[in-house]
Amino acid sequence: MPPVAAHGRGRGGGDGALSSPRLRHGTPERAGLDAEQIAGLVRDVRTLAQGSRPWCAGAVLLAGRGPVIAAETATGWAVRCAAYDEKTDRGVDLPKEARVRMTTDTPFDLASVTKLFTSIAAVQQIERGTLGIDAKVGAYIPEFTAAAAHGITVRQLLTHTSGLRPELPLYDARDAAARLALLRAEAPSSPPGDYLYSDLNMLLLQHLLERLTGRPLDVLVREGITRPLGMTATSYGPRPDAAATEDQRRPWAKADRGMLRGEVHDENAWALGGVAGHAGLFSTAYDLAVLCRTLLNGGSYGTARILGPDFVDLMLTAPGLGFRIDQPWFMGDLAGHGAAGHCGFTGTSLVLDPLTDTFLVLLATTVHPRRRPADSAPRAAAATRLARAVVPLSPGRPL
């Protein structure tokens, strides 16, 4: 798809210094999108929960351009299985009357999409001048002796270039003190500077932010992001109304917890009490679309502002702060000219494209009733559908 520039919006844009447009439902044509491609996108997503070996038990799609939601649909089940049967390698289906239908309002365990909120909370402190982007982590939390000794910086945490390994088995530690001791002593496994995606980056960033502000992360996210944006469906757990995730048992999982619904799926986030820098948030497709619109509007939504345009630009410019930039493996043809987004292990994802002012939220229960090898082909296909739906806008035409 050739690049199609947005008119009057996009990165650092917005429709005015005091107010920016809120989301509204409309037709694909009103959004500047091809109706046939959008119909194909909806059709494709509705097949994801079908068949004897579906990609997911259920899914929710929300996509649009500018402030217009052009596609919103739900398919399959929020709760389908009672358990996973190892002998048959299949889920044990609940009776139909006991299952829970997926709806467009169903909350999902966001898994690693939580990292975006932690990153925004950090960039808010950078904007205020209370946190230096190239400051040493040890200057804020010196008791994290390994990070301090290796000179890890805030920027390296936000760009996954600290060298810290992907994960640390905190869920096996005997208590909170032991978990904290493991984090404090964890040294880089590779030279800082090279990209290595790691949950530990966001855990260190959480501790840094909590020390810097004197407030827990859930409060920072609520007061700095979700409350001003009116994201009332976004919070840390427990969320008993959420879509179910996994029948979590060893050996495929790292803990024996049984079928999970409304409790955080990630084992480390669970061990840390449900509020963690890398996982723990629950949200809906609509709330995540609000976040996408906020960033595409330069940090504003309605009369609220959570970041200034320059700092949104900093987050969304390669290599990105918290966000992944131009990743075709889950962004499809939207990748290539500055698209930003993130995925979560439970089946969640979002992509926003400042150049075309488009956004795509695809939330799915890919780990219900148990985790499988990651397959982002449906995410990439959905993003490609949206990219191909973009049509040029007449100069000056408002959405």
Q: Give pLDDT tens digits for 172-188.
A: 999 999 999 999 999 99
Q: pLDDT band for position 396 (50/70/90)? A: low
* Percent of residues, the chain, with pLDDT higher than 70: 94
What are the structure tokens assigned to 95, written together? 């009776």
Q: What's the burial of 19, exposed, middle or buried (CB within 10 Å: 0-12/13-18/19+)?
A: middle
What is the per-residue pLDDT across 344-373, written as a single tens digit (0 to 9) for each? Answer: 999 999 999 999 999 999 999 999 999 999
70 and 31 share one domain: yes
133 and 275 share one domain: yes
77 and 115 share one domain: no
Last residue of a domain, one of 259, 283, 307: 283
Whole-number mean pLDDT of the chain? 94
Q: Alpha-carbon distance 278 to 316, whole Å?
A: 19
The Cβ of residue 187 has, within 10 Å, a number of other Cβ atoms equal to 13
What are the structure tokens assigned to 184, written together? 């404090």
DSSP, collapsed to helix, strand or coil, labels residue 146 as helix
**pLDDT score at 172:** 96
Residue 229 vs residues 6, 124, 138, 275, 347: alpha-carbon distances, Å: 23, 14, 33, 20, 24
**pLDDT score at 394:** 66
Is the entire prediction scored with pTM above 0.85? yes
The total number of structural domains that make up the chain: 2
We report the CATH number of the domain holding residue 277 as: 3.40.710.10
Please state the rounded mean pLDDT for residues 61-67: 98
Last residue of a domain, one of 233, 257, 283: 283
Q: Give residue 260's domain range.
A: 107-283
Last residue of a domain, one of 260, 283, 306: 283
**pLDDT score at 392:** 85
Residue 45 vs residues 89, 206, 256, 343: alpha-carbon distances, Å: 24, 35, 32, 17
245 and 172 share one domain: yes
112 and 12 share one domain: no
CA terminus-to-terminus distance, the chain:
21
We report the CATH number of the domain holding residue 84 as: 3.40.710
Considering Cα of 265, then 69, then 13, then 17, what sign does the dihedral take?
A: negative
Whether residue 19 has pLDDT greater than 90: no
Whether residue 150 has pLDDT greater than 50: yes
Q: Alpha-carbon distance 171 to 109, whole Å?
A: 18
Please state the rounded mean pLDDT for residues 150-176: 97
CB 350 within 8 A of CB 360: yes
Whether residue 6 has pLDDT greater than 80: no
Q: Check residues 394 and 196 and name the one with the higher pLDDT.
A: 196
213 and 329 share one domain: no
Per DSSP bridges, beta strands 300-301 and 281-283 are unpaired
127 and 228 share one domain: yes
Please state the rounded mean pLDDT for residues 317-332: 98
55 and 117 share one domain: no
**pLDDT score at 11:** 39
215 and 315 share one domain: no
Q: pLDDT band for position 227 (50/70/90)? A: very high
93 and 165 share one domain: no
Please state the rounded mean pLDDT for residues 136-145: 97
278 and 293 share one domain: no
271 and 327 share one domain: no
Please state the rounded mean pLDDT for residues 31-54: 96
Please state the rounded mean pLDDT for residues 34-52: 97
